[in-house]
Structure 1
Amino acid sequence: SAAGAAAENETVAGVGFLGKSVSGVSPKDLKPLADAGKSSLGSGVVVFVGAGEDNKASVVVAVTDDLVGRFSAVDLVRVASAALGGQGGGGRPDMAQAGGPDASKASDAIAAVKAA
Protein backbone atom coordinates (compact mmCIF):
# COMPACT_ATOMS: atom_id res chain seq x y z
CA SER A 1 0.00 0.00 0.00
CA ALA A 2 1.03 3.60 -0.46
CA ALA A 3 1.01 4.09 3.30
CA GLY A 4 3.79 1.54 3.66
CA ALA A 5 5.97 3.14 1.01
CA ALA A 6 9.30 4.51 2.13
CA ALA A 7 9.47 8.27 2.36
CA GLU A 8 11.23 9.75 -0.61
CA ASN A 9 13.04 13.04 -0.41
CA GLU A 10 12.09 15.10 -3.44
CA THR A 11 12.72 18.56 -4.74
CA VAL A 12 9.69 20.66 -5.63
CA ALA A 13 10.33 24.03 -7.27
CA GLY A 14 13.87 24.00 -5.92
CA VAL A 15 12.75 23.25 -2.37
CA GLY A 16 13.35 20.00 -0.54
CA PHE A 17 10.13 18.13 0.07
CA LEU A 18 9.22 15.04 2.05
CA GLY A 19 5.63 13.86 2.02
CA LYS A 20 4.51 10.66 3.66
CA SER A 21 1.30 9.02 4.67
CA VAL A 22 1.53 6.81 7.75
CA SER A 23 -1.06 4.65 9.44
CA GLY A 24 -1.42 3.59 13.04
CA VAL A 25 0.37 6.68 14.31
CA SER A 26 -1.33 8.86 16.89
CA PRO A 27 -1.55 12.59 16.14
CA LYS A 28 0.89 13.43 18.93
CA ASP A 29 3.47 11.04 17.43
CA LEU A 30 3.43 12.83 14.08
CA LYS A 31 5.45 15.77 15.35
CA PRO A 32 8.54 13.71 16.26
CA LEU A 33 8.28 12.08 12.81
CA ALA A 34 8.18 15.51 11.19
CA ASP A 35 11.18 16.62 13.25
CA ALA A 36 13.10 13.58 12.08
CA GLY A 37 12.02 14.34 8.53
CA LYS A 38 13.33 17.87 8.83
CA SER A 39 16.67 16.51 10.05
CA SER A 40 16.98 14.07 7.15
CA LEU A 41 15.95 16.72 4.63
CA GLY A 42 18.22 19.46 5.95
CA SER A 43 16.28 22.18 4.18
CA GLY A 44 12.72 21.92 3.03
CA VAL A 45 9.10 21.21 3.79
CA VAL A 46 7.93 18.03 5.49
CA VAL A 47 4.36 16.72 5.43
CA PHE A 48 3.15 13.70 7.39
CA VAL A 49 -0.44 12.56 7.14
CA GLY A 50 -1.53 10.04 9.74
CA ALA A 51 -4.58 7.84 9.38
CA GLY A 52 -6.40 6.95 12.56
CA GLU A 53 -8.47 3.87 13.37
CA ASP A 54 -11.68 5.73 12.53
CA ASN A 55 -10.40 6.87 9.11
CA LYS A 56 -9.88 10.35 10.50
CA ALA A 57 -6.68 11.98 9.42
CA SER A 58 -4.23 14.23 11.15
CA VAL A 59 -1.56 16.13 9.32
CA VAL A 60 1.64 17.82 10.42
CA VAL A 61 3.60 20.23 8.26
CA ALA A 62 7.11 21.22 9.25
CA VAL A 63 9.26 23.88 7.59
CA THR A 64 13.01 24.05 8.20
CA ASP A 65 14.21 27.25 9.84
CA ASP A 66 15.94 28.54 6.71
CA LEU A 67 12.63 28.52 4.81
CA VAL A 68 10.24 29.88 7.45
CA GLY A 69 10.51 33.31 5.81
CA ARG A 70 9.18 31.86 2.54
CA PHE A 71 6.70 29.26 3.77
CA SER A 72 4.47 29.12 6.80
CA ALA A 73 3.67 25.67 8.14
CA VAL A 74 0.36 27.12 9.36
CA ASP A 75 -0.65 28.17 5.83
CA LEU A 76 0.44 24.86 4.35
CA VAL A 77 -1.28 22.74 7.00
CA ARG A 78 -4.55 24.56 6.24
CA VAL A 79 -4.18 23.60 2.57
CA ALA A 80 -3.59 19.98 3.60
CA SER A 81 -6.48 20.00 6.04
CA ALA A 82 -8.85 21.32 3.36
CA ALA A 83 -7.87 18.40 1.11
CA LEU A 84 -8.74 16.04 3.97
CA GLY A 85 -12.17 17.61 4.33
CA GLY A 86 -11.21 19.56 7.42
CA GLN A 87 -10.57 23.19 8.07
CA GLY A 88 -8.28 25.33 10.12
CA GLY A 89 -5.23 24.02 11.85
CA GLY A 90 -2.59 25.88 13.67
CA GLY A 91 0.80 25.93 15.23
CA ARG A 92 3.98 27.83 14.56
CA PRO A 93 5.54 28.90 11.26
CA ASP A 94 7.96 25.97 11.55
CA MET A 95 5.50 23.28 12.73
CA ALA A 96 1.74 23.12 12.44
CA GLN A 97 -0.90 20.45 12.84
CA ALA A 98 -4.47 19.95 11.66
CA GLY A 99 -6.99 17.22 11.11
CA GLY A 100 -9.64 16.10 8.70
CA PRO A 101 -12.38 13.49 8.53
CA ASP A 102 -11.19 11.64 5.43
CA ALA A 103 -7.86 9.81 5.69
CA SER A 104 -8.37 8.31 2.23
CA LYS A 105 -7.44 11.73 0.86
CA ALA A 106 -3.93 11.61 2.33
CA SER A 107 -2.19 11.65 -1.05
CA ASP A 108 -4.39 14.58 -2.13
CA ALA A 109 -3.35 16.49 0.98
CA ILE A 110 0.35 15.88 0.24
CA ALA A 111 -0.16 16.90 -3.39
CA ALA A 112 -1.98 20.06 -2.28
CA VAL A 113 0.96 21.11 -0.10
CA LYS A 114 3.35 20.39 -2.97
CA ALA A 115 1.25 22.55 -5.26
CA ALA A 116 1.17 25.36 -2.71
Structure 2
Amino acid sequence: VLSVKVPATKVETLREVGDWVRERLGSGVIVLGAVIDNKPYFVTMVTPDLVARGLHAGQIANRVAAITGGRGGGRPHLAQAGGRDPSRIDEALRAVVELVRG
Protein backbone atom coordinates (compact mmCIF):
# COMPACT_ATOMS: atom_id res chain seq x y z
CA VAL A 1 0.00 0.00 0.00
CA LEU A 2 1.34 3.36 -1.05
CA SER A 3 -0.39 6.57 -0.02
CA VAL A 4 1.34 9.87 -0.56
CA LYS A 5 0.68 13.56 -1.07
CA VAL A 6 1.86 14.80 -4.47
CA PRO A 7 2.64 18.42 -5.39
CA ALA A 8 0.22 18.39 -8.33
CA THR A 9 -1.82 21.23 -9.78
CA LYS A 10 -4.15 19.02 -11.86
CA VAL A 11 -5.96 15.74 -11.23
CA GLU A 12 -4.52 14.48 -14.53
CA THR A 13 -1.07 14.75 -12.97
CA LEU A 14 -2.17 12.49 -10.12
CA ARG A 15 -3.32 9.88 -12.65
CA GLU A 16 -0.07 10.14 -14.61
CA VAL A 17 2.04 9.70 -11.46
CA GLY A 18 -0.20 6.80 -10.40
CA ASP A 19 0.23 5.09 -13.76
CA TRP A 20 4.00 5.47 -13.50
CA VAL A 21 4.06 3.99 -9.98
CA ARG A 22 1.66 1.16 -10.85
CA GLU A 23 3.85 0.08 -13.78
CA ARG A 24 6.78 -0.31 -11.41
CA LEU A 25 4.93 -1.63 -8.35
CA GLY A 26 3.71 -4.94 -9.68
CA SER A 27 1.09 -5.53 -6.99
CA GLY A 28 -0.52 -3.05 -4.64
CA VAL A 29 -2.90 -0.26 -3.80
CA ILE A 30 -1.90 3.31 -4.64
CA VAL A 31 -3.64 6.39 -3.26
CA LEU A 32 -2.25 9.74 -4.33
CA GLY A 33 -3.56 12.99 -2.93
CA ALA A 34 -3.09 16.66 -3.75
CA VAL A 35 -4.59 19.97 -2.76
CA ILE A 36 -5.74 21.62 -5.98
CA ASP A 37 -7.50 24.99 -5.88
CA ASN A 38 -7.72 24.63 -2.08
CA LYS A 39 -9.60 21.30 -2.29
CA PRO A 40 -8.27 17.80 -1.61
CA TYR A 41 -8.30 15.38 -4.53
CA PHE A 42 -7.39 11.70 -4.60
CA VAL A 43 -6.65 9.10 -7.26
CA THR A 44 -6.82 5.46 -6.17
CA MET A 45 -5.47 2.51 -8.15
CA VAL A 46 -5.63 -1.20 -7.39
CA THR A 47 -3.61 -3.76 -9.36
CA PRO A 48 -5.54 -6.58 -11.10
CA ASP A 49 -4.37 -9.30 -8.69
CA LEU A 50 -5.82 -7.40 -5.72
CA VAL A 51 -9.03 -6.57 -7.60
CA ALA A 52 -9.39 -10.35 -8.04
CA ARG A 53 -9.05 -10.69 -4.24
CA GLY A 54 -11.94 -8.27 -3.68
CA LEU A 55 -10.34 -4.84 -3.32
CA HIS A 56 -12.19 -2.03 -5.12
CA ALA A 57 -10.58 1.34 -5.88
CA GLY A 58 -13.96 3.11 -5.92
CA GLN A 59 -14.83 1.96 -2.42
CA ILE A 60 -11.39 2.88 -1.07
CA ALA A 61 -11.55 6.31 -2.74
CA ASN A 62 -14.96 7.04 -1.26
CA ARG A 63 -13.82 6.15 2.27
CA VAL A 64 -10.63 8.22 1.97
CA ALA A 65 -12.53 11.24 0.63
CA ALA A 66 -15.11 10.99 3.41
CA ILE A 67 -12.38 11.93 5.91
CA THR A 68 -12.05 15.27 4.10
CA GLY A 69 -15.81 15.76 3.83
CA GLY A 70 -16.06 14.53 0.27
CA ARG A 71 -17.03 11.62 -1.93
CA GLY A 72 -15.51 9.49 -4.60
CA GLY A 73 -16.01 6.46 -6.71
CA GLY A 74 -15.00 4.63 -9.81
CA ARG A 75 -14.11 1.27 -11.18
CA PRO A 76 -12.47 -1.60 -9.28
CA HIS A 77 -9.01 -0.70 -10.60
CA LEU A 78 -9.21 3.13 -10.81
CA ALA A 79 -11.15 5.80 -8.95
CA GLN A 80 -11.13 9.52 -8.23
CA ALA A 81 -12.39 11.46 -5.26
CA GLY A 82 -12.62 14.99 -3.99
CA GLY A 83 -13.13 16.55 -0.61
CA ARG A 84 -13.91 19.86 1.05
CA ASP A 85 -11.37 20.18 3.89
CA PRO A 86 -7.76 20.39 2.65
CA SER A 87 -6.45 20.50 6.23
CA ARG A 88 -7.38 16.80 6.60
CA ILE A 89 -5.61 15.45 3.50
CA ASP A 90 -2.66 14.09 5.51
CA GLU A 91 -5.03 12.38 7.95
CA ALA A 92 -6.90 10.80 5.04
CA LEU A 93 -3.71 9.51 3.44
CA ARG A 94 -2.50 8.08 6.76
CA ALA A 95 -5.79 6.16 7.07
CA VAL A 96 -5.37 4.30 3.78
CA VAL A 97 -3.54 1.26 5.19
CA GLU A 98 -6.27 0.62 7.77
CA LEU A 99 -9.01 1.20 5.19
CA VAL A 100 -7.43 -1.35 2.85
CA ARG A 101 -7.06 -3.91 5.65
CA GLY A 102 -10.76 -3.49 6.30
Q: TM-score range by the shorter chain?
A: 0.7 to 0.9
- Identity, % of aligned positions: 38
* Structure 1 unpaired stretches of 5+: 1-16
TM-score when normalising by structure 1: 0.77
Residue 2 (structure 2) aligned to one of 18, 23, 26: 18
Q: 1:42 aligns with which of 8, 26, 29?
A: 26
Q: Give the aligned partner of residue 99 of structure 1.
A: 82
Structure 1 residue 37: Cα displacement? 1.6
Matched, 1:83 2:51: no
User: Which residue, 69, 73, 78 being the options, matches 2:57?
Assistant: 73
Q: What is the TM-score normalised by the length of structure 2? A: 0.87
Cα distance in structure 2, aligned partners of 1:45 and 1:31: 13
* Structure with higher RCO (Cα < 8 A, 6+ apart): 2
How big is the shift at 1:52?
1.1
Structure 2: give runs of 5+ residues left out of the alignment.
Answer: none
Query: 66, 70, 93: which one pairs with 1:110?
Result: 93
Deviates more, 1:92-101 or 1:28-37: 28-37
Number of aligned positions between the proteins:
98
**What is the deviation of 1:111?**
2.1
Deviation at 1:99, TM superposition (A): 0.1
Report the aligned-residue RMSD: 1.3
Superimposed CA distance per residue, residues 64-108 of structure 1 (whole angstroms, 9 cap, x where no aligned partner)? 111012210001001110011112x12210000010012221221
Greater share of residues in helix: 2
Q: Which amino acid aligns with 2:19?
A: D
Moved over 4 A (4+): none
DSSP 3-state at the match of 2:44: strand
